[in-house]
């Protein structure tokens, strides 16, 4: 299997981002890791270095467009990036009191603007080189909006469409784009959920699925299939038929 050599990952201080960082560290890659929590980021950096990777970490917020652009361009000058994984994201739902405007704006700022701030600055360089791979973290919640988390569903649908559109535009220019749509993964993000999560998957298994999909340049890496296919089929039906089904789903805690 061909492994990318220079990789940038946002949201690398925990969850899927940290697991992907460790996975690629074992291949001896050069890693550029972003996270907001400096202590957790230092911890995963140490683990990745112990695996033999060269690691450059940066504790910044993906919503800071100027800081992100400066860091991304600096990283790409030092090590022309083969793969960027726009993974940073937050989640919250309606809970007991519904979604407030502040929560909606925070989710959109991180999950949409954060992806844009990660991807857009590097597109010109990748086009110029005629190579590179962009991976965008979406969710199965992008397939059909969930009333338990309207803003989260909308944000993930936005970046899925953005990534799938980019793929068609950038493919003739030699740049690959993949969109990742996981279901429930055992991470700190899902640990706050108090309801049953069907077909929840370990982060290690999710990482292996994602890495395989990226190696094959899959357009949409959606899993588990046992959850993805029914959601996709339900999304094809009239909202009048599916609203009663989704309205019975348990609520996700608000932030």
> What digits encode the pLDDT tens for the residues 19-56?
999 999 999 999 999 999 999 999 999 999 999 999 99
What pLDDT score was predicted for residue 188? Answer: 73
The residue from 24, 32, 152, 184 that is catalytic is 152
206 — phi, psi (to 5°)?
A: -60, -40
Q: Are 122 and 76 in contact (CB under 8 A)?
A: yes
Q: Which domains does the chain have, with CATH numbers?
A: 6-246 (3.40.50.720)
What pLDDT score was predicted for residue 195? Answer: 63
What pLDDT score was predicted for residue 96? Answer: 80
Q: Are 95 and 17 in contact (CB under 8 A)?
A: no
Contacts of 141 (CB under 8 A, 6+ apart): 149, 152, 153, 156, 157
Name residues of the chain where pLDDT drops below 50.
Answer: none
Neighbours of 208 (CB within 10 A): 13
Span 218-248, pLDDT tens digits: 999 999 999 999 999 989 998 888 888 877 7
What pLDDT score was predicted for residue 252? Answer: 66
Q: Are 135 and 211 in contact (CB under 8 A)?
A: no
Token pair recorded at residue 189 = 């993000």
What pLDDT score was predicted for residue 93? Answer: 82
Closest alpha carbon to 135 in 154, 163, 110, 114: 163
- Helix or strand or coil: residue 203? helix
Active site residue 161: no
What pLDDT score was predicted for residue 1? Answer: 60
């Amino acid at each position: 299997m061909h492994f990318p050599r220079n990789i940038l990952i946002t949201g690398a201080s925990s969850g899927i981002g940290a697991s992907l960082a460790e996975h690629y560290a074992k291949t001896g890659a050069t890693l550029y890791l972003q996270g907001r929590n400096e202590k957790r980021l230092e911890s995963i950096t140490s683990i990745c270095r112990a695996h033999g990777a060269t690691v450059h970490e940066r504790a910044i917020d993906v919503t800071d467009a100027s800081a992100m652009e400066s860091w991304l361009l600096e990283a790409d000058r030092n090590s022309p990036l083969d793969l960027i994984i726009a993974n940073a994201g937050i989640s919250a739902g309606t809970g007991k009191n519904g979604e407030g405007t502040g929560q909606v704006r925070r989710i959109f700022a991180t999950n949409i603007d954060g992806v844009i701030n990660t991807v857009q600055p590097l597109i010109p360089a990748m086009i110029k080189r005629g190579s590179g791979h962009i991976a965008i973290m979406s969710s199965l919640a992008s397939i059909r909006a969930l009333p338990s988390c309207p803003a989260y569903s909308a944000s993930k649908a936005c970046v899925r469409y953005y990534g799938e559109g980019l793929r068609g535009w950038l493919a003739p220019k030699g740049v690959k784009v993949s969109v990742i749509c996981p279901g429930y993964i055992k991470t700190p993000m899902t640990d706050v959920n108090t309801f049953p999560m069907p077909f929840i998957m370990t982060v290690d298994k999710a990482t292996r699925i994602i890495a395989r999909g990226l190696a094959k340049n899959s357009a949409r890496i959606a899993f588990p299939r046992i959850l993805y296919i029914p959601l996709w089929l339900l999304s094809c039906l009239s909202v009048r038929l599916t609203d009663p089904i989704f309205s019975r789903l348990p609520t996700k805690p608000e932030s």
